[in-house]
Amino acid sequence: MDYCTSDDVEAVLRETLAESFDALIARCISTGCGLVDLFLKVKGLLVPNVVPQIVLEASAWFAAWEFRRISDPAGAEAFWVEAQRLLNVYAEAEAEAYVGCV
């Protein structure tokens, strides 16, 4: 399942992409959302049916990382770092909720 759209990725990249990039952006979104799923799975978490805004943001930043990694590998790292920061904040908050309910 995709948690973000091409518009979300363009907002992170701060540019409007030509239609010729549609297939590449779609692949990057799939990769970004897959990374979200895997990072959360390691922590015993799943994305809920109603996707939280912070998960949408993290997936868009991962997708932007994948897009930039192809054209600017050195510049892509900032997108990776921000995506992980967002996802870690979400995972920590979810873990706290579980601890509090025990």
Domain boundaries, the chain: 6-101
DSSP state of 99: H
Q: Please state whether the predicted TM-score (pTM) of the whole model is above 0.75.
A: yes
Write the CB contacts of 24 (distance below 8 Å, at least 6 apart in sequence): 67, 70
How far lies 10's CA from each of 21, 24, 25, 62, 74, in Å? 11, 13, 9, 12, 19
- pLDDT for the residue 98: 53
pLDDT truncated to tens, each residue of the chain (102 aa)? 899 999 999 999 999 999 999 999 999 999 999 999 999 999 999 999 999 999 999 999 999 999 999 888 999 999 999 999 999 999 999 887 554 444
